[in-house]
Structure 1
Amino acid sequence: MRLDRFLIRRGTHSTKEITYLLADGQVKVDDRIETNGLQSIHRFSKIQLGEELLQEYEAVYLMLHKPAGYLSATTDPQHPTVIDLIDHPLRHELHLAGRLDRASTGMILLTNDGKWSKRITEPAEKISKTYHVTTRDPISHETVGIFANGIYFAYEDLTTQPALLDILAPHEALLTIQEGRYHQVKRMFHAVGNQVLSLHRKSIGPFVLDDSLPVGKFRHLNKAEVNFFRA
């Protein structure tokens, strides 16, 4: 929304008065004087008119180290959810930028900024996610090429994007994908006759799960991290 329209919609000043107040330096956006009424603002912009605070809404961006046993959901009548792990006054306004199965562990990003999270979850953005995978059977070297060529999912009638598989041990590997389809990692291994026993997400795009972040705890993303996914 434009700044001048936001001010006019409040109904306390006429269009002419708003134009004067802007020109007179009486309006601040995010603590900076703004004289351009055409300036674009959003729900998280801090807006002041003189000494009056008109809008201030905190944008929250969190990284959580998800433990097993928690649903990637905001509410559930039967099981604990990742929101139950968040000690923050705005926790009930948060949503997840990507999910993990209840048994899976690792990085979850949470925010109240829908535009920001869409940049992460939108398939067209091709944001890489890396998982540490433990399997029932040894991982064959042929699987590397199969995953690189993509796996056909009949239900969706599509072939997955090329994936990078780095075998660490006979039953362990790092898998990097650029999608987030339903149970994708488990279905990919199932397609080659194997079974995933454990799944741990290590990274999303440039974000790597902090080694110092204990299981079940979260931290705030810093400004540089948040800005990476700014539109």
Structure 2
Amino acid sequence: MRLDRFICKQTGHSFRQARLLIAGGRVWVDGQPERNPVTTVERFMTISMDGTVLQEQTAHYLMLHKPVGYLSATRDPQHPTVLDLVAPQLRPVLHIGGRLDRSTSGLIILTNDGLWSRRLTEPREKIPKTYHVVTRDPISPETHQRFADGIYLAYERLTTSPARLEQVAEREARLTIYEGRYHQVKRMFAAVGNRVKSLHRESMGEIRLDPTLAPGEWRPLLDSEIASVI
């Protein structure tokens, strides 16, 4: 929204009055007078007029080490959720970027910046997501190529993007995928006749789970981590 329209909406002034107020230096944006009426108002800008704050919202970007047993949900009547692990004052404004099912652990992103989180999680963006996987059966030699060729997912009627499998042990691997569809890793292994016993997300793009975070702990993202998604 343009600044002049924002002032009209927030104060009830006419369009002409709003432009005069802006031209007179009475409207401040992020601590500075803003005299350009067509300046675009962003969600996390602080805007005031004559010292009265009209908009002020802090952007939050958190990294959480999700433990097994927690739901990727804002609330649930039966099970604890990942939002139960963060500061109470933050819970009402945060949403989850990149959900994990209850039996999966690892990196979860919590934020109130919807545009930023969509860039991080949108399958079309092809941002790599790396998981540590332990399987029920030995990982067959053809699994690497099957994943590299793509696995057909019948429900979505599509083939996954080429994935990279790095085998660590007979029943253990590191898998990098580029979409993050519903239960994708488990469905990919099921398609090759195997079963995932444990799953842990290590990274999303350039954001890696901080090794100093114990399960259930969180920290704000660094500026460099936030910028890696923009």
Q: Classify the TM-score, shorter chain.
A: over 0.9
- Map of 1:195 onto structure 2: 195
Partner of 1:181: 181
In the other structure, the counterpart of 1:156 is 156
The residue type equivalent to 1:182 in the other structure is Y
Does the CA contact (< 8 Å) of 1:4 and 1:37 recur in 2?
Answer: yes
SS at match of 1:144: helix
Name the residue aligned to 1:59: 59
Amino acid at match of 2:177: I
Q: Which residue of 1 aligns with 2:68?
A: 68
> Which residue number corresponds to residue 127 of structure 1?
127
Residue in 1 aligned with 2:46?
46
Match of 1:90 in 2: 90
1:163·1:176 contact (CA, 8 Å) conserved in 2? Answer: yes
TM-score, L = length of structure 2: 0.94
Distance 1:154 1:16, change over 3 A: closer
Structure 1, unaligned runs of 5 or more: none
- 16-25 or 194-203: which moved more? 16-25
Instruction: Using the TM superposition, give the Cα deviation of residue 12 of structure 1 relative to its aligned residue in structure 2, in angstroms.
Output: 4.7
Q: SS in structure 1 opposite 2:162? A: coil
Aligned to 2:212: 212
Equivalents in 2 of 1:12, 1:146: separation in Å? 61
SS in 2 for 1:124: helix
Cα deviation code 1:133-184 (max 9, x no counterpart): 0111111232111100001122222111100000111111110001111111
Tell me which amino acid in the other structure corresponds to 2:127.
I
Residue 34 (structure 2) pairs with residue 34 (structure 1): yes
Q: Distance in 2 between matches of 1:226 and 1:88?
A: 23
1:119 partner letter: R
Distance in 2 (alpha carbons) for counterparts of 1:110 and 1:117? 9
Partner amino acid, structure 2, of 1:129? K
Distance in 2 separating the partners of 1:131 and 1:22:
51
Deviation at 1:20, TM superposition (A): 2.9
Aligned to 1:13: 13
Match of 1:228 in 2: 228
TM-score, scaled relative to structure 1: 0.94
Secondary structure of residue in 2 paired with 1:190: helix
Q: Shift of the alpha carbon at 1:10?
A: 2.7
2:23–2:37: 8 Å Cα contact kept in structure 1? no
1:107 aligns with 2:107: yes
> For residues 150 and 160 of structure 2, what CA distance do their matches in structure 1 show?
5
The corresponding residue for 2:81 is: 81
Unaligned runs of 5+ in 2: none
For residues 150 and 21 of structure 1, the distance between their equivalents in structure 2, rounded to whole angstroms, comes to 58
Identical counterparts, % of pairs: 57
Q: Return the alpha-carbon distance in structure 2 between the equivalents of residues 99 and 169 of structure 1.
A: 27
Question: How many residue pairs get matched?
Answer: 230
Partner amino acid for 2:140?
S
SS of 1:189's equivalent in the other structure is helix
CA contact (8 A) 1:83 1:92 kept: no
CA RMSD of aligned residues (A): 1.5
1:172 is matched with which residue?
172
Q: Report the Cα distance in structure 2 between the residues aligned to 1:172 and 1:223, rounded to whole angstroms.
A: 33
Counterpart CA distance in 2 for 1:204 and 1:124 is 14
1:88: how far off? Answer: 4.1
Specify whether residues 104 and 113 from structure 1 end up closer, same or farther in structure 2 by C-alpha distance, changes over 3 A only: same
Mean alpha-carbon deviation: is it higher for 87-96 or for 168-177?
Answer: 87-96
Q: Which moved more, 1:7-16 or 1:194-203?
A: 7-16
Aligned-residue offset at 1:92: 2.2
